Amino acid sequence: MTEFLGPSLALDTTDVLGTQSAPELWIVIVTGVAAMLAVVPRSIWRLSRNAITIAHEGGHGLIALVTGRRLQSIRLHSDTSGLTVSRGRPTGLGMILTAAAGYTAAPLLGLGGAALLSSHRITLLLWLATALLLVMLLMVRNAYGIFTVLLTGAAFLLVSWLTGPDVQSVFAYAVVWFLLLGGVRPAFELQAKRRHGDAGDSDADQLGRLTHVPPILWLLFFHAVSICSLIGGGRWLLAV
């Protein structure tokens, strides 16, 4: 008698750590255009910006932990704002790095993702993103935040687990393009808010108080990181 074991759900580490075939150049370009369409139109951006907020607040939280601060909570709101609370010294390098991590998180994650895709490690990228979202979920303390992180994490998990290499490739390239392109817009939005006096307690202003460096220079730093990440990451993505 033959014993039927059904499909195996075990994850082979060689699949995660191994390499996968790169998509054709036209697919890379199409995913980039799709990501741009999720960033540029204001009506769509109101929704898609939630993903950038997850990266922003996740950046604050991750660096808080890395620098030895106690991460208390993360909140994500329906207006795409967020709040990360950590405990520790109110000044010093750890607090500076934590405050600087928000606006730089999405573009740097996009740059790291582009580096992984340029080395054809598509599956590894998807599972790393899923793991980061699951860890972040443990620290989210409001219903809307839990919903958005769960929804995003579920999308990564389903694509990673249930789809084939072609779908995974398209999804991964679209996500990385979105992080790179979407990581540029928030700094310009912050610049506009500061021009109208609506961002007195922004990350740039907090960094200005912490470092005695004018907030405008921190804003320029955010611009530099996001634009350089887009240029560098875009070159990696297009060099298939």
DSSP 8-state class, residue 71:
E
Q: Residue 218: CB partners within 8 Å, gap ≥ 6?
A: 100, 203, 204, 207, 208, 211
Q: Using an 8 Å Cβ cutoff, are 60 and 102 in contact?
A: yes
Q: Using an 8 Å Cβ cutoff, are 152 and 106 in contact?
A: no
pLDDT of residue 107: 98
The owner of tokens 């817009």 is 185
d(CA 77, CA 91): 27
Q: Which residues of 95-106 are buried (b: 16+ CB within 10 A; e: fewer)?
A: bbebbbbbbbbb
Residue 64's alpha-carbon distances to 18, 39, 82, 204, in angstroms, are 31, 28, 15, 17
Phi-psi domain of 22 (left: phi exceeds 0; alpha: psi -120 through 50; beta: other) = beta
Q: What is the mean pLDDT of the chain?
A: 92
Q: Using an 8 Å Cβ cutoff, are 52 and 186 in contact?
A: yes
Residue 147 in 3-state DSSP? helix
* Spans of all domains in the chain: 22-77+88-238
Q: What is the pTM of this model?
A: 0.92
d(CA 28, CA 137): 30
Asked if the model's pLDDT at residue 5 lies above 70, the reply is no
Residue 70, strand partner residues: 87
Weakest mean pLDDT among 14-28, 97-111, 226-240? 14-28
Q: Residue 208: CB partners within 8 Å, gap ≥ 6?
A: 214, 215, 218
Q: Residue 240: CB partners within 8 Å, gap ≥ 6?
A: 22, 23, 24, 25, 28
Q: Using an 8 Å Cβ cutoff, are 102 and 128 in contact?
A: no
pLDDT of residue 227: 98
Each residue's pLDDT tens digit, 23-39? 999 999 999 999 999 99
Q: How confident is the model at residue 19 (pLDDT cuts 50, 70, 90)?
A: confident
d(CA 231, CA 212): 30
Phi-psi domain of 80 (left: phi exceeds 0; alpha: psi -120 through 50; beta: other) = left
pLDDT of residue 4: 30
Each residue's pLDDT tens digit, 32-72? 999 999 999 999 999 999 999 999 999 999 999 999 999 99
pLDDT of residue 198: 77
Each residue's pLDDT tens digit, 81-109? 999 999 999 999 999 999 999 999 999 99
